[in-house]
Amino acid sequence: MTTLAFIGLGIMGSPMAGHLVDAGFDVVGHNRSPERTRPLVERGGRAAGSVAEAVRDADVVALMLPDSPDVEAVMLGDDGVLAHAPTGALVVDFSSIRPDVTRSLAATAAEHGASLVDAPVSGGEAGAIDAALSIMVGGNVADVARARPVLDAVGRTVVHVGPSGAGQTVKAANQLVVAGHLQLLAEAVVFLEAHGVDTEAALEVLGGGLAGSKVLQAKGAGMRSRSFDPGFRIDLHHKDLGIVTSAAREAGVVVPLGGMLAQLMASARAQGDGSLDHSALLRGVLRASGRDLSAPRPETSTP
């Protein structure tokens, strides 16, 4: 049985670690908030009190952390992965971080006799729970092949997109597209409501045409009801759009709508919506339109 350390048991990491237990891995989990290890233990995994304890006997180390500094701290710290994992360990980083940070960490891991594969995911909490994530994988062919059983246990669409850092680059592009879909869907919902249209019926027919998307399917109902329980928080999407704009500038390309989306996401955070689902971009459209933030009653008619 392969021993796998899983660091970061949040909204996404917890169900992913559970699927790895189900797939036959001996999973040792660690989280900064120790109570988050309870679901893993109940599913058959084990809990560790520190990163060092979790990775000490691990063949594979999986990371699902919020941002680049968190991954750097866990990888490079005195209590971290490279200081305590066995020689030859494979690190699978499911976090969404800067591509240049990933490339640097991969090089440092190699110096310590370890390997790193970047494997950011898309699909949100629902995809993590259903083991249906889309995973964009960067790294060399041999390391990706070695990581494949881990990736297949948590994802449905697993694609090797290039060398180290390529997975993070594709994830940044994914977040750019998703943010654009969310903002346009939010504007459409507010537009429809302002005209007294039955938004449930409207989104159904829109979803069957060229305007249809997974974003509409997954987020339309929540926008209509103003239900923004976080599947993926605005705080995290704000971080990801920062990665997009920074990487675009580094590459010398322009992303005009990406820059605007980054500002709209930053505005949502400034308004106190950072802990809400990213579909709460709707609230920004409502504010800008002078509309009530609460859901309209069914009998709402054209103003």
pLDDT in tens, 271-287: 999 999 999 999 999 99
pLDDT above 50: residue 64: yes
CA 197 to chain centre: 33
pLDDT tens, position by position, 170-216: 999 999 999 999 999 999 999 999 999 999 999 999 999 999 999 99
Rounded to whole angstroms, the Cα distance separating 134 from 212 reads 19
Mean pLDDT value across residues 281-294: 97
8 Å CB contact between 5 and 62: yes
pLDDT in tens, 227-274: 999 989 999 999 999 999 999 999 999 999 999 999 999 999 999 999
Q: From start to end of the chain, where are the E strands?
A: 3-7, 26-30, 46-47, 60-63, 90-93, 115-118, 121-122, 133-138, 155-162
Annotated active-site residue 239? The verdict is no
Whether the per-residue pLDDT at 166 is higher than 50: the answer is: yes
Average pLDDT over residues 112-123: 97
For range 113-140, the mean pLDDT: 96
Catalytic residue among 171, 214, 219, 239, which?
A: 171
Name all domains of the chain by residue range, CATH numbers in brackets.
Answer: 3-164 (3.40.50.720), 169-288 (1.10.1040.10)
**Is residue 300's pLDDT more than 50?**
no
